[in-house]
Amino acid sequence: MKYEIAWIKGDGIGPEISEAALKVLEAIEKGFNVSFDVKFYLAGDDCLNITGKALPEETVEGIRRAHATIKGPVGETAADVIVKLRQMFDLYANIRPAKNYPGLNAIKDIDLIIVRENTEGLYKGFEYEFDGKAIGIRVITERASRRIAREAAKLALQRKKKVTIVHKANVLRKTCGLFRRVARDELSKYPEIEVNEMYVDAASMALIRNPESFDIILTTNMFGDILSDEAAQVAGGLGMAASGNIGEDMALFEPVHGSAPDIAGKGIANPYSMILSLKMMFEWLANRHNDKELLNVSKILESKIVEALKKGIKTPDLGGSYRTIDIGSRLYDLILGSG
């Protein structure tokens, strides 16, 4: 089957890490019996400057039509692009693995997945300003809390069967209170899963002190956003962090990080975040379409990434001296067995 992929390169380092990831995709199409029809769409700050819109209708339609979407980071228009897309397509589960691969300068051993509610909370965007006051409304619904808890359970069953619900229900009694109650209720349907909970401040400390104690972290939108950058750093750096925004029958994959304007255009950005997003996309497509070859490809790609890291094929943020595009070229050779 030929998969149609909507590809948004984004802003800042987005186009650079996209080029490297496209090189990897080229090797995969050459080396395996899988094929992709990549269609490029614009979104983000540069797109706003060119077209007057941060998220043009053509891009929205392209995403709707594609089997899956992969997106580089965008800049200051993130709220108009990614936060909007998550709500527009009801991509309610943000799946963010943090795992320390060999050869990285990880703070501690870590192998967990943050399962972040992706459509509501404070990121709903209900903010108002008047008379010297600014007010934000935090929306937490039973429906969204239940379905994200179910997603956490699904992943937990494939792993160590352990879920930590992260909240702040001692202070945010209604919103976090509801999330905690509904999550507990949903998870109680899976007696084989060990469920515990932690306040978000304590969890942020525990992520550094004993990250190995976590398997699945189930949390609300903003807490998940913040904790996933922290978890990524524990694992060796934001440049390694990939994510999936998953809905009922659509999914969008992207690095966890932003457009990194401080290093954009220098050719030194770490593209593994984008390449690992590609790997997550293969996995999702494979499971959805029962495509054994593609599932195999996702496993091989991960093993090639590990091999590359062990060989020291790393960008400066990881202590290496490779340039962004060279990571793509070296992986290309490794995948086709000539590296």
Residues that bind ligand NAI (CB under 6 A): 13, 17, 73-76, 78, 82, 238-239, 254, 257-263, 269-270, 273, 317
Instruction: Say which of 201, 310, 311, 333 is annotated catalytic.
Output: 201
Beta carbon nearer to Mg ion, 270 or 298: 270
- Respond yes or no: is residue 201 known to be catalytic: yes
244 binds, among Mg ion, ligand NAI, none (CB under 5 to 8 A by kind): none
Looking at the Cβ atoms of 192 and 262, the one nearer to ligand NAI is 262
Active site residue 291: no
Does residue 45 bind Mg ion (CB under 5 A)? no
Q: Would you tell me how many other CB atoms lie within 10 Å of the CB of residue 192?
A: 8
Q: Which is nearer to Mg ion, 18 or 228 (CB)?
A: 228
**53 or 160: CB nearest ligand NAI:** 53
> In this chain, which residue has its C-beta nearest to ligand NAI?
258
The least distance separating ligand NAI from the CB of residue 318, rounded to whole angstroms, comes to 8
Residue 259 contact, options Mg ion, ligand NAI, none, Cβ 5-8 Å cut-off depending on partner type: ligand NAI
Quick check: is 229 catalytic?
yes
Closest distance between ligand NAI and the C-beta of residue 44, in Å?
A: 7
Please list every residue from 208 through 247 that binds Mg ion, using CB under 5 A: 225
- Active-site residue (options: 9, 99, 168, 279): 168
User: Least separation, in Å, of the C-beta of 262 and ligand NAI?
Assistant: 5
Q: CB of 91: closest distance to Mg ion in angstroms?
A: 15
- 225, interface contact from Mg ion, ligand NAI, none, CB < 5-8 Å by kind: Mg ion
Q: Of the candidates 34, 31, 9, which has an alpha carbon nearest to the alpha carbon of residue 21?
A: 9
Q: Answer yes or no whether residue 254 interacts with Mg ion by CB under 5 A.
A: no
Active-site residue (options: 215, 225, 291, 317): 225
Among residues 14 and 62, whose Cβ is nearest to ligand NAI? Answer: 14
3-state SS track over the chain: CEEEEEEECCCCCHHHHHHHHHHHHHHHHHHCCCEEEEEEECCCHHHHHHHCCCCCHHHHHHHHHCCEEEECCCCCCHHHHHHHHHHHCCCCEEEEEEECCCCCCCCCCCEEEEEEECCCEHHHCCEEEECCEEEECCECCHHHHHHHHHHHHHHHHHCCCEEEEEECCCCCCCHHHHHHHHHHHHHCCCCCCEEEEEEHHHHHHHHHHCHHHCCEEEECHHHHHHHHHHHHHHHCCHHHCEEEEECCCCEEEEECCCCCCCCCCCCCCCCHHHHHHHHHHHHHHHHHHCCHHHHHHHHHHHHHHHHHHHCCCCCHHHCCCCCHHHHHHHHHHHHCCCC
Binding interface with Mg ion (CB under 5 A): 225
Among all residues, which ones are annotated catalytic? 123, 168, 201, 225, 229
